[in-house]
A and B are shown apart, each in its own frame.
Chain A
């Protein structure tokens, strides 16, 4: 029988949505479910972790784990994987997950697959589906080991309604700190901003914004709609937007209910980061911009003219 271990996605003491999504998928394939949570002062999350659909909660709660450090965090996951005897170990899409998964796989001598969109178990054979070459192709990957460590692509699985679990907490011993890669400082992303990774609406700005005034205009719309605020690569290269705002093959991969591409032409690398969105709205001056080939709704026009109207019209509806 399949046993799934999900690595809880915790940000600033809060359990993120991907955890319930992954546990829902585990339930859907009839697996036993366990979750591992790593951090400092997180014991109060035990109930949330159970409610997200897990039967066992492995919790590594220690002051030394307050800041992410790939080595010790991966050790906690390996510990939980061994104790739970899980054969499927799943990370939600995050930079932490991407840093940990190959380490965990190497330590468990398991296979590793990143960005998976589906997993199928037939008898003992595990097969996963994942995009490759900037989403231009889909790979079906045959797993030859009993154990698979995987990073699940954003938006791949949906959280089921009415999930419940059993509270059964197992405390993990904190591993030793990594003295060879020591985190000295965390320069936090601007406080209070909506997290791109799990925002219902993401609004990204591209070269069409030209300068700071254009960026501010789009940012203002994002703020009004409580949307995540993202960027094309061009805007990051020009210094108008921060690296951590970049949506695309190399940056954040998002799959919100609504994605607005404002002044973004739609390079293949950008599309690879957002084409899993449910609905896409594009605003661009150039009627031939490739973004219109993937957008459900396209407005051909200058964003300086369109965005204020968009804002006004949406505010009218939302009251």
Chain B
């Protein structure tokens, strides 16, 4: 069985982000692997350990993704492809899904596992749209994957009414939530091995397509401007005798906030 997984390099959400003239100030930003993609990579490596599957990572985007890809190699991924094309800078989810479709079709994969959303856009669309383009079954927000046989997996999904257990016929697309696992810290041996591994880097042309063909010429949506989000102001903070300050706060909830 062959699994394709995705990793996006995203801005580190722990750091302060400034906006100037409708754009994010790039100076001083740091980039990390999208947390949910890290869960997807871990899920692949666990399936490799349990079921002997072959794992391929694909990363889309322009610029140097080497550190991120080496980290995924160190975690246990077998092969990695980087679609490095400056045209992808402002792409929407549909464009990313089209590029992934091309990658999928160039290989022979049985399963695609992606993070359920990217930390930078918080959109949660690409994996599901990819499945639509490919005409494959798709389950999102998954917290467990188990191989039944070469043609079937069982997954658990967090739904609105509880945990849904589904049997899915392969090939399929699964998007995972962070509840699925705790990504491993790569061991030293893995880190050393990762340094020697090759990363297949190609642009859209080498992938056999073009920015226009993947919909870049007709984006369905584009970010017109960024704004700083309104910061919520802290209010009143009370320290001292627990009984006194708690009674005081309950009084404020009643009389000032009028919530009771």
Interface residues, chain A, CB within 8 Å of chain B? 11-12, 67-68, 70-71, 94-96, 98-99, 101-103, 105-107, 110-115, 127, 131-145, 178-189, 197, 201, 233, 236-237, 243-244, 246, 249-250, 257-258, 268-269, 275, 278-281, 287, 292-302, 305-306, 309-310, 313-314, 317-318
Contact = CB atoms under 8 A, between A and B. Distances in A.
A292 B136 CA distance: 46
B249 A297 contact: yes
A298 B222 contact: no
Given A68-B159, A186-B161, A296-B235, 12 more contacts: A95-B141, A99-B128, A112-B94, A114-B125, A181-B138, A181-B166, A279-B257, A287-B239, A299-B238, A299-B242, A301-B242, A302-B242
Nearest to A184: B165
B228 A114 contact: no
Interface stretch (B11-19, B55-63, B202-210): B11-19
A188 B229 contact: no
Tell me the interface secondary structure of chain B in the complex. mixed
A14 to B, nearest CB: 12
A250 B221 contact: no
Tell me the interface secondary structure of chain A in the complex. mixed
8 contacts: A70-B138, A189-B161, A236-B179, A237-B182, A278-B257, A296-B257, A297-B235, A313-B247
Interface of B: 11, 13-14, 16-17, 19, 24, 36, 92-94, 97, 116-117, 119-125, 128-129, 131-133, 136-141, 143, 154, 158-169, 172, 177-179, 182, 218-229, 232, 234-239, 242-243, 245-247, 249-250, 252-254, 257, 259-260
Contacts of B223: 139-142
A39 B89 CA distance: 41
B128 to A, nearest CB: 4
Given A144-B219, A184-B166, A71 B133 contact: no
A127 B137 CA distance: 31
Nearest to A294: B232
Contact of B160 (A71, A96, A114, A278): A96
For the complex of A and B, 8 pairs with smallest distance between CB atoms: A298-B237, A106-B132, A180-B137, A111-B220, A296-B235, A102-B128, A181-B137, A313-B250
A244 to B, nearest CB: 6
A257 B260 CA distance: 10
B228 A138 contact: yes
Contacts of B92: 111
B42 to A, nearest CB: 14
Contacts, number: 266
A281 B249 contact: yes
A277 B195 CA distance: 47
A276 to B, nearest CB: 9
A141 B92 CA distance: 11
A140 B229 CA distance: 11
B169 A180 contact: yes
A187 B163 contact: yes
Contacts of A71: 137
A306 B247 CA distance: 10
Nearest to A291: B234
Contacts of B125: 101-102, 105, 112, 114
Contact of A134 (B13, B131, B162, B252): B13
A183 B161 CA distance: 13
